[in-house]
Structure formats: C-alpha cells, structure tokens
Amino acid sequence: MPAEIFWNQQAALPLLALLQLLPLLGAAVVFALGERSAAVLAGKLFALAELLLAGFAASRIDPLLAGFQLAERIDLLGYHVAVDGISILFLLVTALLTLLMTLYGMSRGMISPGRLFAVLLLAEAGLVGMLLTVNIAWFAFFSALELWAVVYLLRRWASSRAETQALARFVQYQGFGLALFVAGCFVLGWGYAEANGGRWSFDLFDLTGTLPAGKFQTAAFYLLFYGLAVRTPLFPLHGWLPNMAQHGLIAVAPALMVGVKVGIYGMARFVLPLTPDAVLDWQPYVVGFAMAGVFFTAALAFLQTNLRRLLAFAVVSHTSLLVIGLFSLHGAGIQGAMLLAANFGLAVTGMWFVVGFVFRRTGTTELGELSGLFERIPFLAIAFLTFGLAIVGMPGTPGFDAAHLVLEASIARFGALSTVATALGNVAAAGFLLWGFQKAFLSQEKSGSYDVDRTQPMEYLVCGIAVTALLAIGFFTEPWLVLTDAASQALAGSFVR
C-alpha cells in the first residue's frame, strides 16, 4: 500500500481540486463570453493562471518523499487525487503547453477564437484530471473528456478537405483504445470485488493491495497496455496519427494528443504497479517491439513528402524510446523516460507550432513546395532546428541528461548491443529531422516562390518561450532530476529481482 500525505498538512487550500476546476471554470467563462474579444483575453489569463497554480503546487510538495502528496479523497464518488514528482512534471508541461497554444492560436489567426479557447481549456481540464487522479476509472473518464474535445477541434477547425477521413480514422482508433482501457479497468475492478466480498473499487491504493492473479493479471495488462499504446501512440498502433497530423488542425490537435504523453504517464502510474508480474513476463516483447518501432518508423519518416506527416512519424519513433526507458524497469531508466517525455512533448509541440506558422504563410506543408524559408524567417528556422536537436538529445537540452539516464539503464538491463542499436535509431531520427529541415528551410528558392512575411512578435514570443524553457531545463537539469528521482526509484523498487 503506497503512502500518502493529505493536502491539509502541506497547503492551506486543496490545490489539486483547484487545479482541476480552474480550466473547467475557464472553459465555462470563455464559452459564455462567446466571440467577444474579452473571451480571447480570458482564455489566455486562465491558461496563465493554471500555469502559475501548477508552479505553486510544485513548490508545495517535497520531492524527496517517495509517496503521494497533496492527496484529496471523497469516498462516495471514488474521487481520489494525489501527486508525486512525476505527475508534477507532467502537470507543468501540460499547463505550459496550453498557455503556448492559446498564444499560438491567436498568432495564426484562427476562426472563432472564443470557441477554440473554450474547447482548449476543456481539453486541458481533461489532461489535468488524468494526471492528478489515482483512480483508474476517473482516468478513463477524463481521457474520454479530452478525446471528445480533440474530436470537436478536428471537426470544426480542420485545415484540409480530407479531414473527414482523418477524423473517422481518429475516432475508430481512439474509440477502440478507450474501449480496451475501460475493459482493463473492469477486469481489475472485478478482481477486487471477487476478493473483497463484492465491494467494487478502482482506486490505485485499493487495487495494489489485491493484485489479480495469473491469467487475469495478464489480461488486465494487455487491455490496459494496448489501450494506452493506441493513445501514445506506439508502433504498430499509430495509424491514426499521420492522417490526423496531415489533415487535422495543424498544431493544437497534435499537441493535445502527443504534446503531453499521458499514454506513457498512464503506463507508469497504473500499468506498472497494478500488473507487475505480467509486466516482467512481457517485458522482452514490449521492448523488442519498441526497438523494431524505432527503426521502422524512422524508415517511414524518410519516405514522407509532407512535413506534418514527417513529424508524426518522428513522434512514433521517439515514443518507442520512451517505452524502452520505462520498461527497463530500472530507476534511472524510468526517470530518464519521464524527463524525455517532457522534453519530447515540449520540443515536438514547438516544431508543430513552427509548421503552423509556415502553413499560415505558404498554405502548404508539402516538402516539395517549400523552399528557402531560412532567408525570410531565420528565427523560426533556428527554433525548429533547436526543437529537433532537443529530440535527438543534444547536450544543453533536457533530452541529453534524460537520454544519458536511459542509456545507463539500458546497458544495465539489456546489454551493450541493444543499447547501441537504440542509439543508432536515435541517429536515424536526427537524420530525418535534419532532412526535413533542409528541404523546407534551406533548399534553393524555386522560381515563382512566395514572398513570405517576416517573423511576427507573437511568433517570437511563442517559439521564444518554448526554446528558452528547453534550454533552461537543459542547462539546469538538477532540480528536475531531484523532482523525479524519488518517485522513479519507488516505481522501480517493486521490480528489483
């Protein structure tokens, strides 16, 4: 049974409840304001307030304690929230990305921004709910809420005529993934009810006390793991992402789906502690698939002719690395995977922002039609490359220390050969990101090419914040290592053989 500290011992207010209510309140206010200009301002302010509140919550917890903190409980509804260092890390990323998305949405001049911001804040509420709860059924509920918000975004603000197909594919995949996940929850809850005389519970704390045995655990593992694997997305279940990335809303929808790696978070929070034996049994297969995925998707990325699809494959490729780190079941590996998840989320969202800015100027993201943008928008080009280098794990970005930890764990668990293979996969990722960068930004200007606008202040701000955040975390990684250390060690502790 994990330990927890209740909120009234650490803070004057139930911070986690506020964190969940604030974006909901924001969504309601912005929705009520309709398309007035105040709605846009209110949306930004709520996003900023949520970030500040998340920062405040981060300052209240003690990262050196392994247990859950700031806990809140209402038994009747099964409401149970608590955080540790890992959830705080994800929470900060979520709040920062939402704020950047509100700024981005304005600078790209989208239609009906008021409605957009309301849905965006609703999606944030869903993400925050997923990150804070320790009840697996609530996790599934918030997941559904967030997916609904994304579907609404895709329907209303899609940037291409082929969006219907992309949307259908998205709904099919995500609906299936969610159904698997819910079924997994059901298996776990049922197991608990069998053992406790018919009393059902989906609470992490209860469930860790009575783990399902044998094949029930395997079934639960498979259902939960594949449910989350679709969401993550993990090779070979990534079919929805390239289409959505190409035809859907350019930056906001992909950022909501893959900017915050809730799939990986869900695996760390629920799958590893609740099905430990099955995880140990299936670890080689999961890691094997992930290693294959790194290379397969890297190869596919090289074949893409559209910058947006290329980024989608970049996501799938690096998600495989996260899974390798997580399923090393090694303290350093888990910590590295969590930091990498934050790093990838921030970096890939930044890349998507730049692609959005490019699209606003050129009306296309086909690599064959873009050329010579570096001369016109050097800042955005350099920002794009910086994000790319962060994904590759360049020193000076959080990716470096995180990749270093994952490598260390990988050597310890899988041996030098697999580690070298994984590292080569990362070099392949560097290859296609550089290739895409050169095609879009550096290639010779073609005849009759467009005369694109220079970088605008809001674009400087959005990319500037993201680059600064990456570099600041990259050069001062220590606090982030401290934040995630105890929680990662605790998670790995149950797998010491």
Partner 1 sequence: MKLPLLSLLVLLPLLGGALLWLLPARRARMVAAVTMFGVLLLATWLLVLYDPAGPRFQLLDRLPWLPDIGVHWLLAVDGLSVLFLPATGLLFLGALVASWNAVGEAQRLFYSLLLLLQTATLGIFCAIDLVLFFVFWEISLVPVYFLLARWGVVADAPKVAARYVLIMLAGGFPLLLAFVMLGGVAGSFDLTILLDRPADDGVQRIVLVLMLIGFALKVPLVPLHTWLPQFALAAPGSLTAVLIGLKVGVYGLVRFAIPLAPDAAQDWHWLLAGLGTLTLIYGAVGVLAHSNLRVGLAYASICHVGLAVLGLSTLSEQGVQGAVSLLLSFTVATGGAMLLLEFLRQRTGSTDIHALGGAARTMPMLASGVLICGLAGVGMPGTSSFPAEFLLILSILERYTGAGMAALFGLAIAAGAFLALYRKAFFGPVTRSAVAQAEDLRPREWVVLVVLIALIAGIGIYPAPWLDIVRPAAEAWAAAFLS
- Provide the binding-site residues for partner 1, judged by CB under 8 A: 374-375, 378, 382, 389, 392, 394-396, 400-401, 404-405, 407-408, 411, 416, 419-420, 423-424, 426-427, 430-431, 434-435, 438, 442-444, 477-478, 481-482, 485
Query: Is the distance from CB of 92 to CB of 259 less than 8 angstroms?
Result: no
Residue closer to partner 1 (CB basis): 279 or 339:
339
Q: In 372-477, which residue ranges form alpha helices assigned H by DSSP? A: 373-376, 378-392, 398-437, 457-475
Residues 458 and 109: their CA atoms lie apart, in Å, by 11
Residue closer to partner 1 (CB basis): 348 or 389:
389
Q: How far is the CB of 430 from partner 1 (least distance, A)?
A: 5
Residue closer to partner 1 (CB basis): 123 or 481:
481
Going by C-alpha positions, the residue among 225, 239, 219 that lies closest to residue 181 is 225
Angle at 241 between CA 488 and CA 458, to 5 degrees: 80
Phi-psi label, residue 363: left if phi above 0, alpha if psi -120 to 50, beta otherwise: left
Q: How far is the CB of 57 from partner 1 (least distance, A)?
A: 23
Residue closer to partner 1 (CB basis): 13 or 420:
420
Q: First-to-last CA distance in the chain?
A: 19
Q: How far is the CB of 443 from partner 1 (least distance, A)?
A: 7
Residue closer to partner 1 (CB basis): 108 or 330:
330
Residue closer to partner 1 (CB basis): 41 or 421:
421
Residues 82 and 185: their CA atoms lie apart, in Å, by 19
Residue closer to partner 1 (CB basis): 207 or 321:
321
Return the residue matching tokens 């799958």.
271
Q: How many residues does the chain have?
A: 497
Residues 219 and 278: their CA atoms lie apart, in Å, by 9
Residue closer to partner 1 (CB basis): 216 or 435:
435
CB atoms within 10 A of CB 107: 18
Query: Is the distance from CB of 271 to CB of 224 less than 8 angstroms?
Result: yes
Query: Is the distance from CB of 212 to CB of 273 less than 8 angstroms?
Result: no
Residue closer to partner 1 (CB basis): 28 or 427:
427
Residues 327 and 492: their CA atoms lie apart, in Å, by 10
Query: Is the distance from CB of 238 to CB of 297 less than 8 angstroms?
Result: yes
Return the residue matching tokens 């050129």.
362
Tokens of 21: 């209510």
Residues 309 and 14: their CA atoms lie apart, in Å, by 42
Q: How far is the CB of 404 from partner 1 (least distance, A)?
A: 6
Amino acid at 228: L
Cβ-in-10-Å burial (0-12, 13-18, 19+) of 423 comes to middle
Return the residue matching tokens 């981005």.
104
For residue 5, the SS3 value is strand
What is the number of alpha carbons within 13 Å of residue 125 lying toward its C-beta?
23
Q: How far is the CB of 458 from partner 1 (least distance, A)?
A: 20
Q: How far is the CB of 383 from partner 1 (least distance, A)?
A: 13
Q: How far is the CB of 85 from partner 1 (least distance, A)?
A: 13
CB atoms within 10 A of CB 472: 11
Q: How far is the CB of 77 from partner 1 (least distance, A)?
A: 40
Residue closer to partner 1 (CB basis): 183 or 430:
430
Query: Is the distance from CB of 253 to CB of 123 less than 8 angstroms?
Result: no
Residue closer to partner 1 (CB basis): 243 or 397:
397
Does a cis peptide bond (omega within 30 degrees of 0) precede residue 236? yes
Residue closer to partner 1 (CB basis): 455 or 477:
477
Query: Radius of gyration (Cα) for the chain, nearest Å?
Result: 22
Q: How far is the CB of 166 from partner 1 (least distance, A)?
A: 31
Q: How far is the CB of 481 from partner 1 (least distance, A)?
A: 5
Q: How far is the CB of 381 from partner 1 (least distance, A)?
A: 10
Q: How far is the CB of 462 from partner 1 (least distance, A)?
A: 19
